[in-house]
Structure 1
Amino acid sequence: MENEPLLMIPGPVPVPQRVRAAMTRQAINHRGPEFGAAYAETVRILKTLFGTANELYVISGSGSAGMEAAVANFARDRKIVSLVNGKFGERFGKIGERYGNVTVLNSEWGTPVDLAALERELEAGAEVVTMVHNETSAGIRNPAPEVGKLARKHDALFIMDGVTSIGGDEVLMDEWGVDIAVVGSQKCLAAPAGLAAIAVSDRAWGRICEKRPFYLDMAAYRKSGKGTPMETPYTPAVPLFLALHEACKMIDEEGVPARIARHRRMADAVRAAAKGWGVDLFPTLDAHHAYSNTATAMRIPDGVTDKDLRGTVKKFGIEIAGGQDHLKGKIFRIGTMGGVGAQELLATLAAVQFTLKKSGVAAGDGVEAAAEVLLG
C-alpha cells in the first residue's frame, strides 16, 4: 500500500490484492465452463448478501446502470413514485422520468422520507416505488421494510437501490417485500467499479415491460443465465467479473454476519469519535430511519473550511469525502465500506482529529472513543 492513497470515502473503496490479481490473468472464454462456474458462484454468494432466493444477474455497467435496468425493464410507462432525501434518490427520480410518469416525494437531504405521502400516492394508483436504501450523500438509512410493506399492501412494485448497503449492512430483500434490488461492485463488495448485480422477484418478472432496452434487457440476461454454463447475453467485462468473483469468495470466507458486524462496528466507532470531538452528526432521524452503517456524515464545525479539513487529511495520504451539491462545504463524510478495518479507520480518525485541533476546534479525544468501540 506504500504511496497508495487510502480511500475512506463512500466508494470506491480500497481493492484487496487478491482481487486486483484476479484481473491480471490471461483472457478466458466468456462462453466457456470456467467463466460460467465463476459467474454461478458469484451469484450464489451475492444472493446471501441480498437476502434473497430470487434470480440474480450481473451486468457490465456501474450501479447507475443497474438502477436504469430496473426502471427500464419494470417501470416503463407506469406511474412511479420516487422517494428522495439525497443525491442518489434524486438520480433514481431522474431515471424514472426517462421511462415513466414520476411523482417525486422530496424531503430535505438527510431528513426522513414521507411514508404518509407515499401511501397517499399508492392509494391514488402508483404502480412502482423507487427508493435508495442507504443514502450516502446524507448518511441516512431509509426504511426499506416499511416501504416494502406499503408497496405490497397496494400491489405496487418496490425497486430498491442497495448500492451502498448490500454487503455492508443487513438486507433482507425477500422478507422486506423488495421486488428489484441493485448493488454496485465498488462499494461494500470491495471490487473494482464497473459491474452491477440486480435481483428480481417472481412477482416483478410477471410484470416485465414489453418494450425493453437492448443491452440492459433483463429478459435476455434471464435467458442466458439459465443455460449451462451460466452466461451473459452480451460480452461481459471478464476481468471485472473475475475480480468480483474473488471479492465474493473473500466475503464468503469472512461470513456475511461477521462482515455486517464489522461494518456496523466501524460506523459506531466513527459516531463515537464525532461525539468525542463534539462534532454534530448530520442526518435528522425519526423512529423509522437510522444512521448509515457504511458512510457517516458530520457537520463541518464553525471556523473550519472544507478545503482545510479534507486538504489537511489528504496530506496524510487519506481521502475523506465532502458534501455534494448544496451540502458542499457544510458536511464531511467518512466511508466504512469493503475490507477496511481498525488500522485504516484509526489512522483516518487521527488525521481528522489533528486537523480539527489545528483549525482551532476544541475537539476532545475522538480517537480514544473510537478505539474503545473497536475493541469492545
Structure 2
Amino acid sequence: MQNEVLLMMPGPVPMPERVINAMSRQAINHRGEEFGGVYADCVRALKPFFGTENEIFLLSGSGTAAMEAAIGNVGVGRKIVSLVNGKFGERLAEIGGRYGDITAIESEWGHPLRLEALAEALENGAEVVTMVHNETSAGILNPAAEVGKLARKHDALFIMDGITSIGGDHVAADDWGADIAIVGSQKCFAAPAGLSAISVSDRAWERLSEKRPYYLDLKAYRKAGSKKPMETPYTPAVPLFFAFREACLIAEEEGLDNRIARHRRLADAVRAAAAAWGLKLLPVSDSLHSPSNTATAILYPDGISDSDLRSGVKKTGIQIAGGQDRLKGRIFRIGTMGAVGPSEVLATLASVQGTLQKLGYTPAADGVSAALEVLV
C-alpha cells in the first residue's frame, strides 16, 4: 500500500497479504468446530519448526507472556539459573526473580555464554535453566544443544526462548532437550503481534509448580486443548488465530529446509554488505556461538549517530532498529526474518549505504554489490 513503511527490524515484520486478509472476517464462536480446526492447524504446522513431538499450545499474549508462562509454571520456589548475553536473556532472569531463587550468569551483551559457570551452578543444585536461543538484541545465536545437554546431565529443566529463531532457523527442541520452548507470532512467522506458542515436555508436566499463574496456567491450556474440538481455557484473540494459521500454512508450503536456507542467505547478504562497508558486527563468535540469521547487529562507525542514520533510512520508507538499553547508540540492526526476500534486503542495504555516505562516512566498498553476489 502507498506510504507504508517497510519494516526491516527484528520484529514486527511485513505480513503477507494472505495473513492480513485472514483477519478480515466476521466473528465466530471460539468454542466451536471452526475455531478448533484453526487451532489444530496451527499446532500441526508448528511442530516441525519447533523440532518437537511435545504438546504445543497457543497463548493470547506476546512472547513475554510465553516467557512468564514457562517460568511461572515450573519455576515457583525453585533454583533458576538464567544465561544472559542480551536484553531478552535479562528479561527471562527478571521474570525468574518473580517466581524463584534466581542466579543470572551474565556475559557482556553479544559475547559468548559462560557455560563453565552454568555447569557449576547446576552442580550446586540449579533446577531450571533459561536461555535465549537467538538473542536479537545483540545479534548472536547461542548454543542451545550444549546448554540442553548440561541441563539434562544434572536433571534440570531447560527453558529455551526460540521467539526469534523458530520458523526462521534450525531448531530441534526435542534433540536439544528443551523441556519448554516458545515462539512469538510477529517474528519469523510474519503474523500480527499478540500471540505466542509454547511446547511442553513430559518432564516439565511432571514438575509443574503447585501455585501457577491463573491466565497462563499450562494445565488449564492442556485440559482445554484436549477437547474435541480444541479450545483455549479463556477467550482467545480469534482474529489473530486466523492470521497466525495462515502464516503457519505459508511456512508449511515453503518447507522447513527452504525457509531456513532463505533466512540464512538473506543474513549472509547483510553480513557481506557490512564487511564491504568496513563495519564490524557486534557479536563475538566462537566454535559454539555465531551471528544471528534473523537479525544482524552492526556497530556504528565513529561520527555516525543512531538517530541520524535511522531517521535517514526511514525517509526512504524503510525502518531498521537501533540498540536497546546498554547498546543504545552503539549498534543498528537489520532484520531478515519472516516474509522478506532479496528485493527488500537489497533496498534496505542501498538505503543504509546511501545514508551513511550522506552523513560523511565513506564505505570501504559497495555493500549492495557484495550482497548481490550472495543473493544471485
Q: Same fold (TM over 0.5)?
A: yes
How far residue 38 of structure 1 moved from its aligned partner, in angstroms, is 1.0
> Alignment partner of 2:196: what SS?
strand
1:207 aligns with 2:213: no
How far residue 146 of structure 1 moved from its aligned partner, in angstroms, is 0.2
Q: Partner residue of 1:330?
A: 330
Measured against aligned partners, the alpha-carbon deviations of 1:299-358 in whole angstroms (never above 9, x if no partner) come to 111111111111110000100011111211111000011000011110000000101112
Amino acid corresponding to residue 307 of structure 1 in structure 2:
S
How far residue 84 of structure 1 moved from its aligned partner, in angstroms, is 0.3
How far residue 81 of structure 1 moved from its aligned partner, in angstroms, is 0.3
Q: Partner residue of 1:225?
A: 225
Q: Partner residue of 1:42?
A: 42
**Matches of residues 94-105 of structure 1 in structure 2 within 5 Å?**
94-105=94-105
Q: Partner residue of 2:270?
A: 270
> In 1, distance between residues paired with 2:244 and 2:318?
25
Q: How high is the sequence identity, in percent, across the aligned residues?
A: 69
> In 2, distance between residues paired with 1:22 and 1:358?
41
> Alignment partner of 1:64: what SS?
helix
1:125 aligns with 2:125: yes
Q: Partner residue of 1:371?
A: 372
How far residue 16 of structure 1 moved from its aligned partner, in angstroms, is 1.1
Q: Partner residue of 1:302?
A: 302
> Alignment partner of 2:12: what SS?
coil
How many positions carry a matched residue from both structures? 375
Q: Partner residue of 1:235?
A: 235
> Alignment partner of 2:56: what SS?
strand
Q: Partner residue of 2:111?
A: 111
How far residue 360 of structure 1 moved from its aligned partner, in angstroms, is 2.0
1:281 aligns with 2:275: no
> In 1, distance between residues paired with 2:214 and 2:312?
47
Q: Partner residue of 1:189?
A: 189
Q: Partner residue of 1:319?
A: 319
> In 2, distance between residues paired with 1:371 and 1:33?
48
> In 2, distance between residues paired with 1:130 and 1:213?
18
Amino acid corresponding to residue 365 of structure 1 in structure 2:
D
How far residue 17 of structure 1 moved from its aligned partner, in angstroms, is 1.1
Amino acid corresponding to residue 143 of structure 1 in structure 2:
P
56-65 or 209-218, which deviates more: 209-218
> In 1, distance between residues paired with 2:286 and 2:256?
28
Measured against aligned partners, the alpha-carbon deviations of 1:19-59 in whole angstroms (never above 9, x if no partner) come to 11111100111111111011101101111110000000001
> In 2, distance between residues paired with 1:175 and 1:118?
20
**Matches of residues 43-82 of structure 1 in structure 2 within 5 Å?**
43-82=43-82
How far residue 246 of structure 1 moved from its aligned partner, in angstroms, is 0.6
Amino acid corresponding to residue 178 of structure 2 in structure 1:
V
Runs of 4+ in 1 over 3 A off after TM superposition: none
How far residue 2 of structure 1 moved from its aligned partner, in angstroms, is 2.0
> In 1, distance between residues paired with 2:91 and 2:168?
22
> In 2, distance between residues paired with 1:327 and 1:66?
25
> In 1, distance between residues paired with 2:367 and 2:292?
19
> In 1, distance between residues paired with 2:63 and 2:373?
35
> Alignment partner of 2:296: what SS?
strand
1:353 aligns with 2:353: yes
> In 2, distance between residues paired with 1:81 and 1:126?
6
320-329 or 126-135, which deviates more: 320-329
Q: Partner residue of 1:149?
A: 149
> In 1, distance between residues paired with 2:2 and 2:264?
28
TM-score normalised by the chain length of structure 2: 0.99
How far residue 130 of structure 1 moved from its aligned partner, in angstroms, is 0.3
Q: Partner residue of 1:339?
A: 339
Q: Partner residue of 2:83?
A: 83
Q: Partner residue of 2:198?
A: 198
> In 2, distance between residues paired with 1:306 and 1:174?
40
> In 2, distance between residues paired with 1:50 and 1:35?
22
> Alignment partner of 2:47: what SS?
helix
Measured against aligned partners, the alpha-carbon deviations of 1:195-223 in whole angstroms (never above 9, x if no partner) come to 01000011111111111111100000001
192-201 or 15-24, which deviates more: 15-24
Amino acid corresponding to residue 321 of structure 1 in structure 2:
A
> In 2, distance between residues paired with 1:215 and 1:88?
22
> In 1, distance between residues paired with 2:324 and 2:72?
27
